[in-house]
Each structure stands twice: as C-alpha cells, then as structure tokens.
Structure 1
Amino acid sequence: MPTFEEFAATEGMQLLAYDDHPDWLDAVAEFYANMTPFIGNCLRSGEPMILDIHLVDRPGLNAFAASFDDADVICLYRDTVRLIRATARGLVSQGLLLPHIGAENNIVKSRHFSGPPRQVLTNEIDLCDDPLEDIERDRLALHITRLAAHFIIQHEFAHISNGHTSWIGSQRKLALIIEMDDGHLESTKGMERETLEWDADSTAITHVLKIALNPEMFTIDGRTAWKIPNRNSIGDVGDAVTCVVAAFFLCGAYFASVESSLWWDLEPRSHPHPAIRMASIISAITLNISFRSGTTEKEADAHLANASSIIPSWLSLFRGHLPQKDHVPGFLDFCDNRLKQYDTVWQRLEPELRKFKRGGTLAPLVRTRHPAFPNNDVIG
C-alpha cells in the first residue's frame, strides 16, 4: 500500500489550498470541530488514527475515501460545493420547497438548467449561482448546501471508520472507494459495494440529522438518545428534516445520473438504485428520530410531510431535460428483495468489517429497543 503522497504523484493529482475555497474550508473545519473527540478515540491496527482531508483539483461532484500506509484520507473534488449550491438555489427558486420561509409575496424568479444533470457535472452548461432575491430563501438554499457538504464528508468518513476501505484493501490492490468514475479512478460495483454504500448512507444521515436538529444528547447503556428541541436554526423539526432530505437528494440524484440513465436497469451498481437509496434514507431518518427520541414511527413520519416537494422542484429545475421513468413490472417487489439482500450481505460482512473499523459501533446484526425508551416498540 503506497503513501498518499506516492499515490497522488502517480495519479497526477494536484491538491488545492482551502484558503482559496472557503466553502469547503468551512465544512471541513466544522467536521473536525464536531468529530475530533470521536476521531481521537479511533484506532487503526492498534495505533491512533490519522485522518487527512484534501481538496483535489478535479472537476465535478465527487469524493473518495482511502486508507494509505501513512494515513486515512478523504479527498473532495473542487467543484462539488459550487455545483450543490447552484442546484440548491435552483431548487429553492421553484417556490415549492418550504414556501413559508421567506417573504409572503414570493419575489424569487424560478431558475431552470439548460441541460441534463450529466452536463451539470461536466461543466457543459452555465449555472447561475447568484444569491436568490429573497434573503431568507437564499439562507434556506445555503443551509441545504451546508448539510449536503456534511453528508458527503460524513459518508466518506463512514467508509473509513466503519472499516470499508481497509476491507476493500484486503480484497484489492488499493484500499479506496470513489463515489463515481472520474476518468482516472474506477468505482467498484456489485452487491457488496451497494451494501457498503447503504451502511455509509445510514451512518452519515445520523450525523447530518444531529447538525440539523441540534438535539440535546445523552447516553444510556452505550446508546445515544436525543431530546429534540421544537425549533432549530432553520425553523421547526419538519423544516430541518426536509432540508436533510433535500441535501441528500442533491447528491444522490447526481450520482444516479452518472451511474445509469436507465431507471429500469436493476443490475447491481456502485450505489443502490435511486428509488431504493431514497427509500432507505427516508427510513433511516424515521428510525433515527423515533429510536433515539422515543417517539413513534408515525410521529417521526409526520416530520417528512414537506419533503414531497423536493422531486417536483427537481423536475421543474431540469424542465424538459430528464428522461422519462417508465413503469417496471414488479418494481416494488424488486426494491423489497434488494433491501433483504443488503441485510443478508451485511450479516456476512459485519464480522469482517469489525476487524477493520476504527471506532464506534457498526449497525447491529440483531436490533433491539433503545434502553432509554424500553416501552417504545421501535428497534434499532
């Protein structure tokens, strides 16, 4: 296994200074502020974990996690925050997403992209990234952008801390997981890779929910519980949850557009099929809220009511530039069976990943009630 410096030299990878990219600087600084106590307790092969996060001079919305001889590394691609911010502003400009935030008379002009998502990622079309006319609507877009940046970093960190990269390194020459092929590095595919993505998504969404909801946290028998305040930096609990879903959707929809433009392509890929991935995220949000705060799943589901506006906003933003989603016979059965397959693969992978994980706990093989809420039927 090479050092990161050797790898970067071989790949012709140029690193950028964070000072020239304040959006990433803020996100990475906040990540370290939140996660340093956890990272400080992480071990790699019995030694303290070293985590470096680099910004690389490559285009598009992309990232990778890797484990090298000298350090665990997350690499973030140059254009990612700019693309997410322009897209978040475009989504919010449609006026459908949390319309109660901002001026009563909507003064924001709807924006539309002149090409499909693939052309956004390859910089083939010009994107308007100017602030929205309404300062509160623009603040909403920037909040979604912030959460999306955190989702990407936390997702990559989960690949490392949950042992994914080291496990990949035990199977292949390079202990590296990249989100999308970039013309230099190739993304692995198959059921095992989809299962690892499923796990990384679940881990990341827990951390992003904590940022959005700002709960008071306490621990009972090793399990973290949340006391969720009624208000947060963007509004009420439902507003915050909608922003979390929107942040994930921005990333997932772009990844899906590159992996396969065929909705009916049901073969295993790098990431779960977009319908399964979205359903898994919604399920993870409901589970986190109900399991960690002691509420019922029905009460947790109620916070997702406004999230239904995200997909119409996306369709409006890319008006006329998205492929039709044809009906696939038996699609719901396919989704249900694929989730069961992930669980089966996880039962096999979890003991192996436990050998490589850096700290914390992996998703349990057997789910139980939260010790803080023994009368709540929700298991996690």
Structure 2
Amino acid sequence: MQKEYEFDEAFRRDGGRAKSEIDLFTDIRRRFSAVNTFLKHSYPNLPEIHLDFIENDSLNAAATKYKGNYFIGINLGSYFLIYDMFMKMLASKSVWPKIGNNQLETDHKKILKAYINIYDKITFRFDNQDIAIPQDKLRLEFAILCTNHAFDFLIYHEIAHILRGHVGYLASLIENNFYWREFDNLSQRSKLPSDVSQTLEMDADSFATNRSLNIIASNLKDTKQVNEIFRFAFKDWSTILPIWVFSIYSLFRLFGYRQYAVEDAKKLSHPPSSIRMALIAGNIVTLFELKYGKELIPSVVKDIIESTKAAEDAFSEITFQEANWDIYRNSYTKESTDYIFSITDNWNKVRPVLEEYALGNLPPLKIIK
C-alpha cells in the first residue's frame, strides 16, 4: 500500500491515484509486469517501477521520480480513449474490411468519445453512452490486439524515460516534484531546451520501437508464446507489421496532427506527431535492413505507407475530421527531413549528459557524415 500512497502523492496535482478499479486495468498492470521481466534480462540495473492510473479524463501519461522511487502514471482518459478508438474503428465496416465478417457491423457512424477541454487537452467523454464493440469475433480480437500494441509502445516509451536517464537528469535540474508528461507538446519543458527535449523523446520512441519489434520477432519464431486468439496475426512479418504500424500511427493520430512550420515545431517539447511517426518509420526500415538485409525493404516501405494511410482513413471514420495523410507525407520534404536529422544528430550532444543518470547502456554516438 505504501507504493499506492506515494503514487497518489506524486500525481496528486493531476488527480492522484484512480479510485476506480476494473479488470482491464489489471491486464495493463500484468502486461507492464511482463515487460519489466523481459527487460531485466538486458538491463539488470532496471529499478522497481510502479505503474498505476491517474484520476484524470484527459489524454496523458507521465514518468517521475518521487521520494527515491520511480513511477509511471497513465491517465484514465488515455486508457478509455485508446480502447474506444480501436473498438469503434473495427466496429466500422470500412475499416480493415477483409478482417473477419465486416458485414456483421452496423451501418451507423461510431464517433470517438472525445472533446477538447478548457486546457486544450483531448479528453474522454464519460457522460457519452455511445458504446460500440465489433460484432464479429475476429474483428473484436483485432481491436484488442491493436490496443495492446499501443499500450505496449506507451509503456516501453515511459520506461525508456527512466532507463535511459531522462527522468534522472531532469530530476537533477528541478528541486520540486515534476512529471515527464507525454502529450504537453505545445510548450517548452522547464529547464530543458527544446532541442534536448525533442531528442530525448526520439530516444524513448526509438527504444519503444526496438523493443516492440524484438518481442514480435520472438513471437514469430515461437507462436506458442502468443495468446491463441491473436495467432492469426503472427503468420509472418507481412501480416503483423502492418497491424503494428496501424496501431502506432493511430496512437499518434489521437495525440493530434497539426501542420507546423519547421521553425515553430523546433520550439516544442516534443516533435510533432507526424515527425515522430516518420522517425519511427525510418527506425523500422533501419532495423529490417540490419537484420534481414535490403531484400525486404521495398515490401516494408509499402506496408508502412499502406498502413499509415489505412490508419488515417480509420481515424477519419470515427471522428468528424477529414482524412489528411498529407500532414504525414509532408514529414518527408527536404525541410522536414533536415529537421529530423537535426533531432537525431543532436544525440551526440545529449548522450554524454545522460551517462551519469542512465540505468543501462546507451546507444552509441551517431556517426555524422
């Protein structure tokens, strides 16, 4: 109970520890425990981290160090928004129409239960009773799989902030309790220059991508490790990679896609969501080239393009926003790619600062040609 009390104290100004408890929260904690166990093999110095939920309806997650202990908090709103998003996507006939029997789904438009609150935060509408669950069993399982992919990525990302020394470094600069929030990207982080903050976010996304794909690779070698209801997706990379990319793009799409001028984007605490997704896509291509050579790269790039487009269309299907894949495509203009390289090149400036606080090996310095 001591950890629950400290968690409540650490996140009190955002609402404290969630008072409600449902089975789905237990499942997230179980997945977090499994991730921790998996990471302990590679990072024996990984400290005990307590994950719980924050009594807050908005979309956010945070990592912090409080009274010498590490905590990860996920807003209630984050859980329900992500869950509602994938359920309504797969309850819509036009989304992944070849999965299961889409004709079992009803024709009416299912709208994500979200609104923008007075603090400009994406917030879950608990007062809206419009619940949609896919009627086809396989489509329901597909929605759950996408939800799991999104939460695993989010969990790995938060752990990276602790493991890579980001939280420890920021704690050394700030005397009072602080949160490393994920979705407060409209302003600069106190005490951290924007270029440093954006590179640390890139590092956490890279860690989450690498670890997520490592687990998928392991599951492809031995599908007995996979829950039986999800094995349909683990035939090979051509079946699972598009689902994973779809899930992660949808997660970032939920954060909000805005077209920023590059000079304005550089002032934010996080790279814009579309830029982060482009960084992740580049990371995927690099990982596949290192592991399998160049032979698979054309099909991997094709899967990324088609899956991001499908996710954009799916998000449009459950909101009143028109599909606008061009925001993501614009991440590949010369100006945007120069900006992306500035984020990755900045690792050489950031890495030496983190060495004192990192709890495991850091990626090497980047060779800049």
| Fold-level similarity (TM above 0.5) | yes
Deviates more, 1:126-135 or 1:9-18: 9-18
Say whether residues 1:314 and 2:310 are aligned partners.
no
349 and 150 in structure 1: CA distance in 2 versus 1, 3 angstrom threshold: same
Q: Decide which of 99, 102, 115 is 2:100's aligned counterpart.
A: 102
Deviation of the 1:14 alpha carbon: 2.7
Distance change in 2, residues 1:112/1:42 (3 Å): same
Match of 2:145 in 1: 143
The one-letter amino acid of 1:168's match is: L
Report the count of equivalent residues.
342
Matched, 1:195 2:196: no
> Match of 2:168?
166
The amino acid that maps onto 2:284 is I
1:176 aligned partner, one-letter code: Y
| Map of 2:183 onto structure 1 | 180
SS in 2 for 1:79: helix
Structure 2 counterpart SS, 1:122: strand
- 8 Å contact from structure 1 (residues 98, 306) kept in 2: no
Match of 2:76 in 1: 78
Larger deviation: 67-76 or 321-330?
Answer: 321-330
In the aligned structure 2, how far is the partner of 1:126 from the partner of 1:106? Answer: 24
Structure 1 residues 71 and 115: alpha-carbon distance in aligned structure 2, compared to 1, 3 A threshold? closer
Given the superposition, is the C-alpha separation of residues 235 and 106 from structure 1 closer, same or farther in structure 2, using an over 3 Å criterion?
A: farther
Map of 1:276 onto structure 2:
275
Confirm or deny: 8 A CA contact 2:198 2:269 kept in the other structure: yes
Once the two structures are superposed, the pairs formed by residues 254-273 of structure 1 within 5 Å of their partners are 254-256=254-256, 261=258, 263-264=260-261, 265-273=264-272
1:18-167 maps to which residues of 2 (within 5 A)?
20-39=21-40, 42=43, 49-103=47-101, 105=103, 107-109=105-107, 111-113=109-111, 118=116, 121-124=122-125, 126=128, 128-167=130-169
Contact kept in structure 2, 1:165 and 1:175, CA below 8 Å: no
* Conserved? CA contact 1:132–1:138, under 8 Å: yes
Check conservation: 2:77, 2:123, Cα contact below 8 A. no
Partner Cα separation in structure 1 for residue 337 and residue 275 of structure 2 = 9
1:352 CA drift (Å): 1.7
Amino acid of the structure 2 residue aligned with 1:208: S
Change (3 A) 1:123 1:189: farther
Asked if 2 retains the 8 angstrom alpha-carbon contact of 1:56 and 1:76, the reply is yes
Q: 1:143 to 1:357 in 2, by over 3 A?
A: same
Partner of 1:204: 208
Residue 41 of structure 1 and its aligned partner are, at CA, apart by: 6.7
Q: Please say if residues 4 and 70 of structure 1, whose CA atoms lie closer than 8 Å, have aligned partners that are also in contact.
A: no
TM (normalized to structure 2)? 0.78
Distance 1:95-1:207 versus aligned 2 partners, 3 A rule: farther
1:157, distance to aligned residue in structure 2 (A): 0.4
Match for 1:75: what amino acid?
G
Whether the 8 Å contact between 2:91 and 2:135 is mirrored in structure 1 is no
**Residues in 2 aligned to 1:288 and 1:134: alpha-carbon distance in whole angstroms:** 35
Give the direction of change, closer, same or farther, for the CA distance of 1:115–1:57 in structure 2 (3 Å limit): closer
Q: Amino acid of the residue matched to residue 301 of structure 1?
A: V
Q: Is the 8 A contact 2:312 2:324 kept in 1?
A: no
Per-residue deviation, 1:313? 1.7
Q: Is 1:247 equivalent to 2:251 in the alignment?
A: no
CA shift at 1:196, angstroms?
A: 0.9
Are the equivalent residues in 1 in contact too, given 2:259–2:327 (CA < 8 A)? no
**1:144-190 per-position Cα deviation (integer Å, ceiling 9, x unaligned):** 011111111111001111111111122333453111349xxx78771
Q: What amino acid is aligned across from residue 255 of structure 2 in structure 1?
A: F
In structure 2, what is the Cα distance between the partners aligned to 1:271 and 1:167? 17
CA separation in 1, counterparts of 2:168 and 2:212?
Answer: 24
- Once the two structures are overlaid, the 10-residue window that deviates more, 156-165 or 280-289, is 280-289
Find the residue that maps to 1:355 and give its secondary structure.
Answer: coil
What is aligned with 1:377? none
CA shift, 1:314, in A, is 1.4
Letter in 2 for 1:28: R
What's the secondary structure of 1:84's corresponding residue? helix
Secondary structure of 2:74's counterpart equals: strand
In the alignment, what sits opposite 2:17? 15
Deviation at 1:285, TM superposition (A): 2.1
Q: Structure 1 stretch 96-105 or stretch 342-351: which is displaced more?
A: 96-105
> Which runs of 5 or more structure 2 residues have no equivalent in the other structure?
223-229
Quote the offset at 1:17 in angstroms. Answer: 6.5
Instruction: Report Cα offsets for 1:21-75 as digits up to 9, x if no partner.
Output: 322321221232233253377476xxx7221112221212211011233311111
CA distance, structure 2, for counterparts of residue 209 and residue 330 of structure 1: 23
Measured in 2, the distance between the counterparts of 1:254 and 1:9 equals 23
Counterparts of 2:234 and 2:325, CA distance in 1? 35
Identify, as 1 or 2, the structure richer in helix: 2
Secondary structure of the residue that 1:73 maps to in structure 2?
A: strand
